[in-house]
Structure 1
Amino acid sequence: MQQNSQHPTASVPPRPATVGELRASGHVYRTVKQEIRENLLTRMRAGQDRFPGIVGFDQTVLPHVERALLAGHDIIMLGERGQGKTRLIRTMVGLLDEWTPTIDGCEINDHPYYPVCSRCQRLAREQGDDLKITWRHQSDRYGEKLATPDTSVGDLIGDIDPVKVAEGRTLGDPETIHFGMVPRTNRGIFSLNELPDLAERIQVALLNVLEERDIGVRGYSLRLPLDVVLVASANPEDYTNRGRIITPLKDRFGAEVRTHYPVTLEDELALITQEAEVAWDGGDPGAELPEHLVEVIARFTRLVRESPAADARSGVSARFAIAAAESTAAAAVRRTALIAEAHDEVPVARVCDLPTIVSTLRGKVEFEVSEEGREEEILGHLLRRAIADTFRARLGGADLTGLLNKFADGGTIESGELVSASELLRRTGEVPGLAKIMARLGMEGRESFGEAAAAIEFTLEGLYLLRRLSKDSADGISIYGQ
């Protein structure tokens, strides 16, 4: 299929170029809410994914969102930071028609059948069926604004355009208005993030948009009916910490939907696997992040989130786990770049790469005041718990005598973040049963030095945490012994 250059994943827009041709094609006008409702129902009946890329909300959040959209409601999403509120809102764009007609040159995307701005109404009277139209892709029908205390009514709704006045138009001419972000998203979806941060006097300007579906600019006698779906996001704690949503505005949202962090370990794993960027385009392959290390990071994130030392009101964002995965993979890349004999090895992350994330992630967690000064100690302890829990889940009951026998006569194995995979394997020697260990860690049938080293080091660390081995650590070097 031929691709449109402006939208690489889009099909070619429809052919009609005038209102007359559009009518002849049989095009039927629908409001945005009708459009979303019908497209959502079509996907539901076909069993298609309605919100691609959204993990862990299937049985909790998404049913509420679907009911709200089917009811034609504006929505406010409430949830702590990093719960995917904005990501979910952006997926709603996929429920719009791929292409929709608008009057050519219209600032607020008027539909050719129902022009609402004074310019388009004038052109429609003058040109009739010869009025030119253009086709707007669904990706261009989404507007987003981060609410900040300095946001003005002009930003959202509109204001007088001094340039147009200077061109000779009178102040009473509606065409002197410079439209704000909301009317410019007419016939689309507008998202207002962190709504409580918006000054209360500015929130008042949205009341008409949500109820009467129109706007007023300055002192103009102007009724501009808007066709828009308004979706807002907010952190419940921000109602009192940084501001609040005024009661009349909350009352005008048709639906309030609560989001949450991943409920299950499987959802946490899926989210990290989907979002973490550990591979790079071009000639740089990035690093491999073994399955068992992704599980460690997922368990670590959940332990931090549940810890009484962390401020539950602030939450622990999904970005915490994603950043941890990416930093761990980066540590593996760094190792292969610094060690000459490892230059030809495929970077594979190991347990020794995990402690480095504690200091870099500390700023992503708000701790209780009573724990001040102990942040790294707490995170380090929880990381060790996550490694031990993963070891029990993956290798609990496994026959590890092949590796334990290496220490029977007082032997030791030295590893560390700057020890290459091939060097670690040389120091360890042949390990009977290593293939079975690798299979239980999700690396069945793989034979690379990096993966074998990752399996051995994880097993050593797990045996240490379960007090079946000792370990001496200093300056990034770990020596395991009996």
Structure 2
Amino acid sequence: MTETTTPPALHTVGQLRASGHQHRGLRDEIRANLLAMLAAGEDPWPGLHGFESTVIPQLERALIAGHDVVLLGERGQGKTRLLRTLVGLLDEWTPVIEGSELGEHPYEPVTAASRRRVAELGDELPVAWRHREERYAEKLATPDTSVADLIGDVDPMKVAEGRSLGDPETIHFGLIPRSHRGIVAINELPDLAERIQVAMLNVMEERDIQIRGYVLRLPLDVLVVASANPEDYTNRGRIITPLKDRFGAEIRTHYPTRIEDEIAVIRQEAHLVADVPDHLVEILARFTRELRGSNAIDQRSGVSARFAIAGAETVAAAALHRATVRGEPEAVARIVDLETAVDVLGGKVEFETGEEGREAEILEHLLRLATAQTVTAHLAGIDLGLLVQAVENGASVTTGEQVTARDFLAGLPALGESDLYDQVMERLGAHNDGQRAGAVELALEGLFLARRIDKTVPEIRGSGGETVYG
């Protein structure tokens, strides 16, 4: 995030004019800033992964065209994050009439009160400066959202002060008018009751507002952006056709198509309290992708990126728990911690009808597929035959949620002069005991999944029991 600078030291409209300041509309401002960033080779969309050749080009064309935008996509595809990055396309500081309820530009007042002040004060009209972060408003659409919340209503306190009901100054403005010269984002737009969506029609096309029979011709300059789940998934409502028609661009989002982007999202978003090696993050990313391709999962609801993020945070917590209880110097997650994550993540996916009772079996099967793919990706070419031979000769390796990395490494069978363990550790970039134990544990899990060795697991997962490869 860039550092915030100090606002210009201009405090009256006279000083503003003398400085040569030029007013431009919101869409012109966004268009100019976007084109300037693209021309300079800057990334206008920091922190977004997997949209570079699909969603981003569509969104950029829509903004250059000056269109209101609705993003359609399943949960956890980064729609809200994408909308919030639009703030970066606004000028860092913009002048407003000091005390203006709608943040009007000093050159273009739109309310009766501001026009009166401009006429009375002239060049002495006080000017304040608003930061770009203050020009972005976000509303989560809920069934109880009212017209007053979004558009406005008559303020009884102003009427009680002696104003007549027909006076436009009796109006209390809602979120959209208050976002004048800014961006208003509405998440889960179909959840708005249809009558509330109807109230938005004039705002988005004629750019005026209607409140209880009054029509206020306010030339609102606001960019409306929204997110929604596809209509074939959400049963809570729909976007009414006239409102959908008023959005200039309807853009479909998607989950990351490359494993690298999936991993980047996890690394960026997860708050990890312990070291989670890259191969574990990759397993969680592949696990998520397997879920998205499984016929046993309801793909209309999607499998959110939050699934893998929560998984990474859970295995990190398991590692920290073990390190604290057992006195390990480093808290490093290992394969054994993945099983605890599966137990708590099952509720984050929706299974197809008919899969009742098989949820744990499905999750375990797909996790094994993801683990096998990761083993192949990282350990291909290393001959693990000596380790298999040692196990066949009666050796066993004990691990578990409460088995320390040092105890695990001490219990590995001797392989004579072989540097097999060193090869595995080097391939996975292991530098401390926790990472070394995790690397060898991945190799053992790969041998088990290839049916070259056996594995005995505790009857109750999460009980702290031991897992034995043998």
Q: Same fold (TM over 0.5)?
A: yes
Give the match for residue 271 of structure 2.
277
Letter of the 1:320 partner, please give it: F
- 2: CA distance, partners of 1:220 / 1:396: 72
- 2: CA distance, partners of 1:390 / 1:247: 46
Matched, 1:352 2:347: no
1:5-44 paired onto structure 2 within 5 Å: 9-44=3-38
Letter of the 2:319 partner, please give it: A
Give the deviation of 1:216 after TM superposition.
1.8
8 A contact 1:196–1:238 mirrored in 2: no
- 1: CA distance, partners of 2:137 / 2:434: 46
Q: 1:332 aligns with which of 287, 312, 319?
A: 319
Give the match for residue 433 of structure 1.
420
| Offset from partner CA, 1:391-450 (integer Å, 9 cap, x none) | 11111221324534542531111110110111111111666232321232243xx2x111
- 1: CA distance, partners of 2:125 / 2:425: 68
- 2: CA distance, partners of 1:186 / 1:455: 56
Matched, 1:64 2:48: no
Give the match for residue 387 of structure 1.
371
1:215-294 paired onto structure 2 within 5 Å: 215-237=209-231, 241-278=235-272, 286-294=273-281
Matched, 1:146 2:140: yes
Q: 1:192 aligns with which of 186, 189, 201?
A: 186
8 A contact 1:239–1:245 mirrored in 2: no
Give the match for residue 213 of structure 1.
207
Matched, 1:477 2:466: yes
Task: Specify every segment of 5 or more residues in structure 1 that has no aligned partner in the other structure, as ranges.
Answer: 1-6, 279-285
Give the match for residue 77 of structure 2.
83
Give the match for residue 416 of structure 1.
400
Q: 1:363 aligns with which of 347, 355, 363?
A: 347
Q: 1:318 aligns with which of 305, 308, 317?
A: 305
Compared CA separation, residues 354 and 240, structure 1 to 2 (3 A): closer
- 1: CA distance, partners of 2:426 / 2:165: 76
- 1: CA distance, partners of 2:28 / 2:383: 61
Give the SS at the match of 2:153: strand
Give the deviation of 1:266 after TM superposition.
1.3
Matched pairs, number: 462
Give the SS at the match of 1:48: coil
Give the deviation of 1:267 after TM superposition.
1.2
8 A contact 1:324–1:357 mirrored in 2: yes
Give TM-score, length-normalised by structure 1.
0.93
Give the deviation of 1:169 after TM superposition.
2.2
Structure 1 window deviating more from structure 2 (433-442 vs 18-27): it is 433-442
8 A contact 2:83–2:225 mirrored in 1: yes
8 A contact 2:80–2:227 mirrored in 1: yes
Task: Specify every segment of 5 or more residues in structure 2 that has no aligned partner in the other structure, as ranges.
Answer: none
8 A contact 2:147–2:199 mirrored in 1: yes
- 2: CA distance, partners of 1:150 / 1:429: 64
Give the match for residue 51 of structure 1.
45
Give the deviation of 1:377 after TM superposition.
1.2
Structure 1 window deviating more from structure 2 (48-57 vs 466-475): it is 466-475
Give the deviation of 1:238 after TM superposition.
5.7
8 A contact 2:397–2:413 mirrored in 1: no
| Offset from partner CA, 1:243-266 (integer Å, 9 cap, x none) | 111111111110110000011111
Give the SS at the match of 1:414: strand
8 A contact 1:237–1:313 mirrored in 2: no
Structure 1 window deviating more from structure 2 (240-249 vs 78-87): it is 240-249
Give the SS at the match of 2:87: helix
8 A contact 1:165–1:176 mirrored in 2: yes
- 2: CA distance, partners of 1:429 / 1:123: 85
Give the match for residue 129 of structure 2.
135
Give the match for residue 98 of structure 2.
104
Q: Report the RMSD for the aligned CA atoms in angstroms.
A: 1.5
8 A contact 2:231–2:238 mirrored in 1: no
8 A contact 1:79–1:259 mirrored in 2: yes
